[in-house]
Amino acid sequence: MLLCFQLKIKAQNESAVDDLIEQIVSTTLTESDEGEFIDMNQLRFELEQLSRNPILVNSKKMEIFARLGILSMEQLSALKKHISEFGKLNELEELQVIPGFDASTIRILKPFISFEAFVKTADVPTKALLGESKKDLLIHYQRLLETPKGFSDPQPAYVGDLARMMIRWNMTFYKKWRMGINLEKDAGETFGWSPKKRKIGFDHVSGYIQYRGDGILKNAIIGDFNAGFGQGLTFWKGLAFGKSANSVPIRKVAPGIRPHTGIDESLYLRGIGFTINKNRIIGTGFISYRKLDANPLIDTLENPQVFTSIQNAGTHRTSSEIYHSKLLSEFLTGGNFTYNPGKFKVGFTIIFQQLGGKLQPRNSLYRVHHFSGNQNWVSGTHFDYSLNNMHFFSEVSLSKNQKWAYLAGATITPDPKFSFTIYNRWFQSQFQPIYSLAFGESSVNRNENGIYFGWEFIPIRKHKLTAYFDLFSFPWLKSNLDAPGSGSEILLQYLFKPSKNWETILRYRNKQTEINAAGEKNDILAQNYHQFRIQFQFKPLDGWVFRSRFETVWLMRSETNTGHLFYMDVIYQPIEKPYSASLRYALFNTYDFATRIYAYERDVYYTYSVKPYFGKGRKVYLNLKWRLKRIFTFVFRIENTVFPFLESIGSGNDLIEVNHRTQIKVQVRIRW
């Protein structure tokens, strides 16, 4: 009976993590103008850690839910105010009386929070602490069943085989220590020992050791880590969110330093970092040294000293990619000091960067203000203030070339049923950030001015309206725009949830921008993008979920092109059974890649899937998961995409000379 109960809790926690990730990704417009995605494996890792080590509701650590986008700062403030006025919470049901904590929010929080009394580590015997250590080992294998041209030519362009392999190992012990190792090889990369080529086994090796203390030293990490301060304008290297249907809580909650637990090969720092806390002053510092993939100005040089750009793809499959691997060294150091007496906090950040060669962007007029050289620094000040139901935030940054960027915003909740955010940013064209991810239209915080307004309204119970309007301009040229430009974006969403078993979502999004006309370099073309989505979700029985979505886009330039997507999901995850499954059948028809439609796909552990559907075809995928005892979990996925009107798919080295593409993934996970 105890074993069944433990399996039930574990199944509930895994299901909660999967559901929450899907909800966050589905409401977030994760695709950028370049179609790139932010690594979400960090989010999965943190949610899994929370499910295994729930946060005490009455502690300051509840701020982690605001940082992960699960709670808004307004909900967090309401929780703190309730505890201050009425004392500590003892039961889950008590959350219902706090403004902003509706039944849906409480259901989301339930697997990740605890009401048990806090016990300091020093009060627990060492033997018991060591016995409570938690280990997690994940082995991953995937490959295409078809063979692309880059693997099949007599002299193949890709030096490795079709397999992608990954091993992840994490351990938490003594309740204060955590360590992890990530090993990965992409398809096309070699696996072997070659110290002369700077390769030892897997192509990518990442790891960390972390200490979390109760005294002055709050956090210390050796190895690979992420860092972010303020609102992300001065420095942010790691997970961040942009515009989304969750339109009001855009204010960031800085993570300080956190272990890098994702598999992204560029979105991290490597070295040592620490955080200390004394008398309401929080100080964080770090030192990082890495070798970056880069494009040299002249490829023929053996030891190039001038580089045109830094590569972030992380793949080393061809002779060219291998040559460009780890060519440019980067030294980063800096930190942040924040004073937080209660209702307000103010902080200062400074970051210094030294490159092992000169970065010199290629001669293009739009790049004239980009950073050039081998040494840069950026500093900034951030400020937050809360007064009743109003929250104000701002940040000002200065780069080495004496150019500025600033942002300021406010979130106000005049009524529990209505809240709104207004946000303004001004990023000079000449501003040269090192790593920044502040809220904005572009992926880099420069050459942009804008004002954003988002609101959320619950007119009556079970009905929710959200919207935002963003007006932006670009004072200087962009990569696809040979003149200063402007644009706007609007999103409207209606959510109807009559019960926990039924949900309907209607969403409309419109984006108006300007781009260069094809073939006419000096001609500027207006671009008008419309997107409409309708989604239904129904849970007829415990463990069963049926979901369907229809989405269509119109892209209006000199002519109008369209794209359409329809899919049906069936998810079966019984709480008291050791197995689960999910199935999707999708039909899509888009004019070209510009009218592609993104959709989240359920996948295996630590494989973040937001896939673009484009062309004319159909796709089917099946995920199977089976838990053996309490320790082992086996996962299998197969996906098949067919383009019936084509004879081949892909291009270049990725050309497949059939009209279908099939991929399998297999995982074994051991947790003890």
Q: What is the mean pLDDT of residues 513-527?
A: 82
Q: What is the mean pLDDT of residues 636-657?
A: 95
Look up residue 107 and give its two tokens.
């259901």
Q: How many CB atoms lie within 10 A of CB 210?
A: 20
Which one has a higher pLDDT value, 307 or 49?
Answer: 307
Q: What is the mean pLDDT of residues 293-316?
A: 86
For residue range 388-428, list pLDDT tens digits in order: 889 999 999 999 999 999 999 999 999 889 999 999 999 99
The answer to whether the beta carbons of residues 98 and 82 sit under 8 Å apart is yes
Structure confidence at residue 13 (pLDDT): 61
Rounded to the nearest 5°, which phi and psi values hold at 122? -65, -20
d(CA 230, CA 256): 9
Structure confidence at residue 115 (pLDDT): 81
pLDDT reading at 118 higher than 50: no
Look up residue 626 and give its two tokens.
């089976």
pLDDT reading at 127 higher than 60: no
Report which of 290, 287, 220, 230 is spatially closest to residue 257, judged by C-alpha positions. Answer: 220
d(CA 497, CA 535): 12
Structure confidence at residue 614 (pLDDT): 93
For residue range 310-342, list pLDDT tens digits in order: 998 889 999 999 889 999 999 999 999 999 988
pLDDT confidence bin for 21, thresholds 50/70/90: confident
Structure confidence at residue 148 (pLDDT): 95
pLDDT confidence bin for 139, thresholds 50/70/90: very high
Structure confidence at residue 480 (pLDDT): 87
For all residues of the chain together, what is the average pLDDT? 88
Q: How many CB atoms lie within 10 A of CB 519?
A: 6
Structure confidence at residue 253 (pLDDT): 87
The answer to whether the beta carbons of residues 214 and 242 sit under 8 Å apart is no
Run of H or E residues at 445: none
Report which of 469, 482, 492 is spatially closest to residue 421, judged by C-alpha positions. Answer: 469
pLDDT reading at 100 higher than 80: no
pLDDT reading at 125 higher than 60: no
pLDDT reading at 471 higher than 90: yes
pLDDT reading at 608 higher than 90: no
pLDDT reading at 160 higher than 70: yes
For residue range 176-210, list pLDDT tens digits in order: 899 999 999 999 998 876 665 556 678 999 999 99
Which one has a higher pLDDT value, 486 or 133?
Answer: 486
pLDDT reading at 27 higher than 80: no
Over pLDDT 90: what percentage of the chain?
Answer: 60
State the Rg of the chain over Cα: 25
The answer to whether the beta carbons of residues 248 and 456 sit under 8 Å apart is yes
pLDDT reading at 2 higher than 50: no
Q: What is the mean pLDDT of residues 132-148?
A: 92
d(CA 400, CA 439): 22
The answer to whether the beta carbons of residues 209 and 262 sit under 8 Å apart is no
Which one has a higher pLDDT value, 11 or 652?
Answer: 652
Number of separate helices (H) and strands (E) present in the chain:
8, 34
For residue range 419-467, list pLDDT tens digits in order: 999 999 999 999 999 999 999 998 899 999 999 999 999 999 899 999 9
pLDDT reading at 108 higher than 60: yes
Structure confidence at residue 472 (pLDDT): 97
Which one has a higher pLDDT value, 671 or 1?
Answer: 671
Chain centroid to CA 446: how far? Answer: 21
Rounded to the nearest 5°, which phi and psi values hold at 132? -90, 10
d(CA 72, CA 66): 5
pLDDT confidence bin for 157, thresholds 50/70/90: very high
Q: How far is CA 271 from CA 262, 293, 458, 469, in A?
A: 16, 18, 47, 41
Residue/partner pairs of 115-119 with CB below 8 Å, 24 or more apart: 115/56, 115/57, 115/58, 115/89, 115/90, 115/91, 116/56, 118/56, 118/59
The burial of 116, by beta-carbon neighbours within 10 Å (0-12 exposed, 13-18 middle, 19 or more buried), is given as exposed
pLDDT reading at 151 higher than 90: yes
d(CA 361, CA 358): 10
**Residue recorded with tokens 């030096």:** 159
Q: What is the mean pLDDT of residues 276-287?
A: 94
Q: What is the mean pLDDT of residues 255-262?
A: 90
Over pLDDT 70: what percentage of the chain?
Answer: 90
pLDDT confidence bin for 567, thresholds 50/70/90: very high
For residue range 35-82, list pLDDT tens digits in order: 344 556 777 777 877 877 788 888 878 888 877 778 877 788 888 888
Run of H or E residues at 517: strand 502-517
Q: What is the mean pLDDT of residues 350-363?
A: 94
Q: How far is CA 615 from CA 49, 587, 612, 644, 649, in A?
A: 39, 10, 10, 10, 10
